[in-house]
Amino acid sequence: MNGGKTMIRTQMVVNDAVFALAQGQDIASLKSEIETAVAQGGRFASFVVVGNSEVSVLFSPHTSVAFSVETVAEDDRGDGDTPFGGFYDE
């Protein structure tokens, strides 16, 4: 149990895919990176999700993106650490 502790969870929906962003993810910077990608006609942007996994998405003028913020029970999987470099890292 988390002892009643809560945290803020930011979710990003890209088209129909939902991503729970890691606690350390800089949302303002990510939004700016997405806006730049769209303005340039499309390019990949990377971000970290809960569990410290890195995801890369191709953002273009045809990509639909929405952000939501909610209070949830504390979850230590999204502590903002840098993601591992591969499947077998220790």
Question: Of 39 and 5, which is predicted with more confidence?
Answer: 39
Supply the pLDDT for residue 23: 85
Greater confidence, 28 or 74?
28
Q: What is the pLDDT of residues 7-22, one digit of tens each?
A: 888 999 999 999 999 9
Alpha helices in the chain (DSSP H): 27-39
For the stretch 28-64, pLDDT in tens is 999 999 999 999 999 999 999 988 899 999 999 999 9
**pTM, entire model:** 0.74
Class of residue 69 by CB neighbours under 10 A (exposed 0-12, middle 13-18, buried 19+): exposed
pLDDT tens readout for residues 21-34: 998 889 999 999 99
